[in-house]
Structure 1
Amino acid sequence: MTAPSVKAPALAGLREDLTGEVHVPGDPGYDEARAIFNSMIDRRPAVIAGCASEEDVARAIRFGRENDLEIAVRGGGHSVAGMSLNDSGLVVDLRRMRSADVDTEVRAIRVGGGATMSDLDRAAQPHGLATTGGRVSTTGVGGFTLGGGSGWLERRFGLACDNLVSVDLVTADGESVHASGDENPELFWALHGGGGNFGVATAMTLRLHPLPSFSFVLLMFTPEAGFEVVTTYRELMESAPDEAGGGAIYLTGPPEDFVPPDLVGTLLCAALVTYAGTEAQARAVAAPLLDIPHVAEVVAELPYADFQCMLDDPPGMRNYWSAEYLELFPDEAAEQFCDLATSMPMPSPSQHALLPMGGAVARSGGQYPVPWRQSPWAVHPFGVWEDPADDERGRQWVRDVRKGVQPWTAGHVYLNFIGQEGRERVVAGFGAGNYRRLAAVKAEYDPDNVFHLNHNIEPTSES
């Protein structure tokens, strides 16, 4: 069956020209190819171009433009709004481009545009190296890094974009561009948070850092202890070394051996302390939390790449997320944070997280368009559920969390944590001055706004 919006000769030409595989409705594998992380999104592209090289990406973009198809770009497929898919358009699918090559001499890794965090982490681990990655292993490196990149190691090594050395990009005209500090520096600046607005990243190089050991402390408490746990975690992190990270997180008791059977499926408050160091160091930092009576405890030193897989979100679930970045987190905010957990969708894999910033995040890369990095705390309602009947309840809980912490917000937001929440939120993700500068870069590299399925920056020349 040929996609109705694409003429058969054009489609045959794409199939012949592309090294990778092309899927259209009716093809075997089409439904599998269009499935993404958020099962709430059900879209049917006219063509899915499974690209295997930079040349394939250029061919696919030119094909899309010649056939007047809306273009979406898929890396890891983790956009909560489903921006890596469209209806009746073209998807440039990068999943075949998953190379991850480590250069130990310069401590850097070059990854393909479709690489996931697991690809990167597993390649770096044997060399005792790592860089800031997403909080789950299935996140795509490209979208994660170009959107800023917040993860467990950020307080020690900075955001992922702070570690960006270079990017190979295919523009809306199908041309290849290299961006680095020395080559196309204005584009390189824009790629530190500006996302997929400027082209398709077919490869990127990131700086790696020595990480000889990694440890974590995970404690679970009944909800009644929540306020004490959250405020203790707050005080702990305000004086913690950069090696420490983690979060205070409300969640559903998981069916794991370390959770008492009678608490599985119930609301729990967890404290997670991650540490770029030994178990003994992690225990020392987490001591105030360990002193609070808790119902479950896991403490371990393990390879960072293994830890990254431990918290992977289950596929095939319905997702709705958002975030607020806070200027302050006083006791009143802690009380509100704890109260808001009680309406979280239950039982489900949803999480209600308080994440610490600071450390290298706040010190590094102030020149980049990521103003949210200066906030000391982030509140991240991460709604995940299975039943479509819970959609409105789940969405409303996320909205209520945002509203509930408004008195303490800084007004900025990490766009990778949110869906489509309007232009004002997009501008808030970059800052108004940065947005104007980004719009000028957009006008140079994508004046027709071909790449608009993202947290979109409208192309306008800087006045």
Structure 2
Amino acid sequence: MEIDGFRGLLITADDAEYDTARAVWNGAIDRRPRLIARCSETADVAAAVRFAREHDLEIAVRGGSHNVGGTAVCDDGIVIDLSALRAVWVDPIGRTARVQGGALWSDVDHETQAHGLATTGGIVSHTGVAGLTLGGGLGWLMRKHGLAVDNLLAAEVVTAEGSIVRASTDEHPDLFWALRGGGGNFGVVTSFHFALHPLGPDVLAGPVFWAAEDTAEVMRFYRDFIAEAPDELGSLVRLGTVPALPGIPADLHWRPAIAVSCCYAGAVEDGERAVRSLRRLGTPLVDLLAPTPYVAHQRAIDDTVPHGWHYYWKSTNLAGLSDDAIAVIADHAYAAGSPRSMVVMFHMRGAVARVPHDATAYAGRDVAHNIVIEGVWLPDEAGEHAAAESAWARRFLEALEPVRAGGVYVNFLDADDDPSRIREAYGDHLWRIAEVKAKYDPDNAFHHNKNIPPA
């Protein structure tokens, strides 16, 4: 099989690397594409798109392949694979970076921190830049510097026609607006241009763990703690078990616990003052908050969510932490059967909330917290845990219904989430996004994603 104008690697089921090439982060996803087109340059992406359209092939786009729903791979179609396009170019004077569409956040952090710079990226370093950014882009630095999309200056995009365009505030501004939160609905983004900010190399960062029975007390304290927190303090709450990570005593591994993790985007001494009251709360099981290289903190929890494990997620937004919300979370968080399952709650606000509501396609500007319920089990535990962990996540989401806010973060939607939840993610932005979709992809060629049909 050949693609006119394509100079990358074409992989079919007859090739030895086929099974490796079709595997994605979520090991529960098992799909068999007809062809994997591993691109070596933007021109390859354009050639692959034109080929797919000419042959009426289902299209999946692979960046970091980290979406829990497995959107990076399809059955009996073509995977346009950007995983070889991972270069990062930093302009330290202009404080910007150009990042190829297959890069991971570890690639970005490695290059930008060499210059004492950073931008908002994911909290797991093997997450792909493209998928995270196009959905909005939550990360440790968002309260200080905004979401990933708030730091996006421009993007190079291959459209459904196979054309290459640049989207920015000056060029194709409608497309640029939609790319910032609207997902992969409009084309294949082959490079991103980000604004960078001074940071590090060391930041005050890490988790503090308390026993599960202290959950309600910790969350009530956390509610008051974040109300006074400076924008520099990024934090999240993790409920589940203590992971078996370096620095954590072995006798605590897999013990049910609540953790508050922090990253202070400023001077370490200022961060120490900002978290002082948190560290004095009750009797922590272990306190790992310490001056840490930012790149080390960014990859600190990578091993708790590795490639190949099985994942099932449910998520929603919370307007705040009422006593009722805390009670629901404390009641359900530890009912999972797998010790690897967890709940993660992000604190939003700060710079995220100060961006005007209609500035980007991302719609969750007024959200206080985003909560994601993660069922996790090993591949050989599917018979034991798959149905049970999935049911736990669904029950938990249902229990949150009376206390949740409207909306959901589109990047946290699983494959079995109803299409109405995609509409919920965008609210009153949906029609404008659909109009942009109709202009750049009227035939909905890019629909193997959290799809928004063209208006």
TM range (shorter): over 0.9
Deviation of 1:256 after TM superposition, in Å, equals 3.6
1:5 corresponds in structure 2 to none
Partner deviation per Cα, 1:163-187 (whole Å, 9 max, x = no partner): 1100110011111111100011111
How far residue 318 of structure 1 moved from its aligned partner, in angstroms, is 0.2
Of residues 26, 30, 44, the one that matches 2:18 is 30
Indicate the larger mover: 261-270 or 163-172: 261-270
Root-mean-square deviation (CA), in Å? 1.4
Match of 1:310 among 300, 305, 314: 300
SS of the residue corresponding to residue 306 of structure 2 reads: coil
Of 148, 156, 177, the match for 2:144:
156
Q: For residues 174-224 of structure 1, give each alpha carbon's deviation from its aligned partner in whole angstroms, at most 9, with x where no partner exists.
A: 111111000111111111101110000011101111113422142111111
Q: Which residue of 2 is the match for residue 442 of structure 1?
A: 437
The whole-number CA distance in structure 1 between the counterparts of 2:224 and 2:137 is 25
CA contact (8 A) 1:116 1:139 kept: yes
- Residues 1:360 and 2:351 are matched in the alignment: yes
Deviation at 1:447, TM superposition (A): 0.6
Per the TM alignment, residue 279 of structure 1 is displaced from its structure 2 partner at its CA by: 3.5
How many angstroms does 1:63 deviate by?
A: 1.2
In the TM superposition, what is the alpha-carbon distance from 1:246 to its structure 2 partner? 1.6
User: Aligned-pair distance for 1:55?
Assistant: 0.5
Q: Indicate the residue corresponding to 2:209 in structure 1.
A: 220
Distance 1:318 1:257 in 2: 23
Please tell me whether the aligned partners of residues 240 and 334 of structure 2 are also in contact (alpha carbons under 8 angstroms).
Answer: no
Asked if the contact 1:103/1:109 (under 8 Å) is kept, the reply is yes
The CA deviation at 1:371 is 2.0
Corresponding residue for residue 299 of structure 1: 289
Whole-Å Cα distance in 1 between the matches of residues 350 and 425 of structure 2?
Answer: 20
> Contact 1:258 / 1:296 at 8 angstroms: preserved in 2?
no
Q: How does 1:15-414 map to 2 (within 5 A)?
A: 17-212=5-200, 213-256=202-245, 258-291=247-280, 292-312=282-302, 313-348=305-340, 350-367=341-358, 368-386=360-378, 387-389=381-383, 390-414=385-409
**2: distance between equivalents of 1:136 and 1:274?**
13
Which range moves more in the overlay, 209-218 or 359-368? 209-218
Q: Secondary structure at the match of 1:114?
A: coil
Aligned length in residues: 446
Matched-pair contact (CA < 8 Å) for 1:71–1:450: yes
| Residues 257, 414 of structure 1: alpha-carbon distance in 2 compared, 3 angstrom cutoff | closer
Separation (CA, whole Å) in 2 of partners of 1:217 and 1:308: 10
Counterpart of 1:303, as a letter, is P
CA distance in structure 2 between the partners assigned to 1:326 and 1:382 by the alignment: 16
Q: Separation in 2 of the partners of 1:326 and 1:222?
A: 24
Separation in structure 2 between the aligned mates of residue 40 and residue 346 of structure 1, nearest angstrom: 15
Question: Which one-letter code corresponds to 1:395 in the other structure?
Answer: S
Supply the AA of the counterpart residue of 1:245.
G
Query: Hey, what's the Cα distance between the residues in 2 that align with 1:246 and 1:370?
Result: 21
The corresponding residue for 1:424 is 420
The CA deviation at 1:278 is 3.5
Q: CA deviation at 1:365?
A: 4.2
Moved over 4 A (4+): none
CA offsets 1:149-172 (integer angstroms, 9 cap, x no match):
111110010000011100110011
What one-letter code is carried by the residue in structure 2 that aligns with 1:247? L
AA at the equivalent of 1:345 = G
For the 8 Å contact 2:204–2:272, the answer to whether it is kept is no
What residue in structure 2 maps to residue 6 of structure 1?
none
Deviations 1:137-156 (A, max 9, x none): 11111111111111111001
Q: Distance in 1 between matches of 2:345 and 2:67?
A: 21
Cα distance in 2 for partners of 1:436, 1:442 equals 10
The residue matched to 1:373 in structure 2 has which SS?
A: coil
User: Percent of aligned positions with the same letter in both sequences?
Assistant: 41
Deviation at 1:459, TM superposition (A): 0.6
Alignment gaps of 5+ in structure 2: none
